[in-house]
Copies of this chain bind each other. A is one copy, B any other.
Amino acid sequence: MITGKNYIGNSQSQLGDKRFTTHNPITNKENEWEFVEASENEVNKALELATHAYTLYQKISGKERAVFLNTIADEIEALGDSLIEVYTAETGLPEGRAKGERGRTIGQLRSFANLVAEGSWVNATIDTAVPDRQPIPKADLRKMMFSLGPVVVFGASNFPLAYSTAGGDTASALAAGCPVVVKSHPMHAGTGELVAKAIITAAQKTNMPNGVFSNLNSSGIEVGMQLVENPLTKAVGFTGSIKGGRALYDIASKRAEPIPVFAEMGSVNPVVLLPEALISKGEGWAKTYAGSITLGTGQFCTKPGLLFALESSELDDFIAVLSNEIIKIDPSCMLHPVIEANYSRNKEKMLRQPGLTITANYDEDVESNFARQAVVKVSGANFISNPELHQEVFGPFSMVISCSNMNEMENAIKSMDGQLTGTIISEKNEINNYEKLVDVLQNGVGRLIFNGVPTGVEVCPSMQHGGPYPASTDSRFTAVGIHAIDRWVRPVSFQNWPNRLLPDELKNENPLNIDRLLNGKSTKEAIE
């Protein structure tokens, strides 16, 4: 069922010399399948095919692209249990998570299908001519969004479906009219191949041009670098580490033609516990946060890594409960031995930081690749002065920052890099007294959460998943929700263009019946 080959458009190919396997972290054994890393020749071939496919695909209507996206969703569903089995064998994640993520992936595909089938997303903007305007006539101008060209998508280690082969980046780019070349994540290359096969089958069933999608295996960094360096690539989507995302951003920025890179990277997701909430509901929140920190073995990009509060006996109580509760949780398996090794190393490095108190550190024996959770405490002053304490520890680790006053807390929050999320835990009306703190937090994050946990990223139009650097490389865009499509498109204006040659979205008749900004007013009306 799994061949280990690359998909170069509709054809399978294995020209490379390097082979690799995926690992089952639960059994701690290599899986049976062997994957052939893409050669430079195959990288180039995939992008040449994508570039040719682009000339055809960009002209395919939104309704037809929607059929393609929905067929991808159908084909992924049709993979059935085999997908779930390979997913769990390559990630150690439980079946329930696999099925939930499959549902999310399919939901995203169908959501982008609906978006482009309806059609208003192109932001059609029309200003009709004013031939008798003085001193010169005003031309007829009409603008809409068009796809950028071939997009390279890097699969994420921690979301083998929803942020990988057919995840949000691929779904949004295909919806926009961009062919996609995926650099499959080496830790779940089998899952990737199955999903790639579903996309290729869907492309063939719906008569999409060959090259609209390719899937390349890669265990090192070469394939990814070649993909971003190639002048045929017009944009990049990435989810992963700051180091990896920044390296790709740097390559893209140095090209003769720089291209946009949207990299969703690191985040420690600060949480502020306001004093009254700490007093009246500290114990409850401590239990809730023990769960949020360890959810999915702390491998969510929105795991709460930092908890800010004022030093007090209630904070001591909170830390005691949090530490006690988190130790009670059974350790769970990380995605891969490399990820567990990184977690252990980064955690140990953190534990050695000066002035830090370890309040919980699971020290019993665990199975291979299981992560031992920990909670630590530092002072606000220490946090501000030591940037090492700001680093993300990917896994079930969290830090409580005990601040001597609100001013110190504001400065501690100001001293951090950009974040995906920021959370305020507050009693009713208590937050009213902390306007400045909220402002400081808001300026550093993409999403503010009130009285909740940051884990969980709802897929809906109002979601912002992204944030000031290094949460993402461009805070002006989101990786989740329909507006993720905006990353892959650019406006094109048509001046005095013959009506019959305009794209349907801009024709007088408004044949697609979409919302348009016509002479400054939003309307579905046709133009007389």
Contact = CB atoms under 8 A, between A and B. Distances in A.
Nearest to A426: B498
Nearest to A252: B253
A490 interface: yes
B469 A257 contact: yes
B469 A491 contact: no
Given A127-B461, A445-B492, A452-B496, A469 B148 contact: no
A458 B496 contact: no
A393 to B, nearest CB: 21
Given A431-B501, A432-B501, A461 B496 contact: no
Contacts of A474: 260
A391 to B, nearest CB: 14
B490 A476 contact: yes
A493 B447 contact: yes
A288 interface: no
A24 B449 CA distance: 58
Given A250-B253, A450-B495, A461-B517, A469 B258 contact: yes
Interface stretch (A71-79, A139-147, A266-274, A337-345): A139-147
Nearest to A424: B497
A442 B496 contact: no
B493 A141 contact: no
Of A249, A431, A461, the most chain B CB neighbours within 10 A belong to: A461
A494 interface: yes
B463 A141 contact: yes
A483 interface: yes
Of A260, A476, A517, the most chain B CB neighbours within 10 A belong to: A476
A513 to B, nearest CB: 14
B127 A448 contact: no
Contact of A476 (B439, B466, B470, B489): B489
A294 B30 CA distance: 70
A43 to B, nearest CB: 22
A443 B56 CA distance: 12
Contacts of A143: 461-464
A182 interface: no
A247 to B, nearest CB: 13
A493 B446 contact: yes
Contact of A258 (B138, B253, B495): B253
B55 A452 contact: no
Contacts of A417: 257
A511 interface: no
Interface string A435-473: 000110011011111111000101011111010111001
Interface string A253-296: 11001101000000000000000000000000000000000000
Contacts of A404: none
Interface string A14-43: 000000000000000000000000000000
Contact of A449 (B447, B468, B496): B496
A175 B386 CA distance: 38
Nearest to A473: B258
A515 interface: yes
Contacts of A149: 443
A305 B59 CA distance: 29
Interface string A320-336: 00000000000000000
A105 interface: no
A490 B462 contact: no
B136 A456 contact: yes
Contacts of A431: 498, 501
A125 interface: yes
Contact of A448 (B258, B466, B476, B497): B497
A157 interface: no
Q: Which 5 A-B pairs have the closest CB atoms?
A: A253-B253, A464-B493, A141-B462, A447-B493, A475-B490
Given A138-B460, A249-B258, 17 more contacts: A125-B461, A127-B461, A141-B458, A142-B462, A149-B443, A253-B253, A253-B254, A258-B469, A447-B493, A448-B493, A450-B498, A461-B520, A462-B517, A464-B493, A468-B490, A476-B486, A522-B522
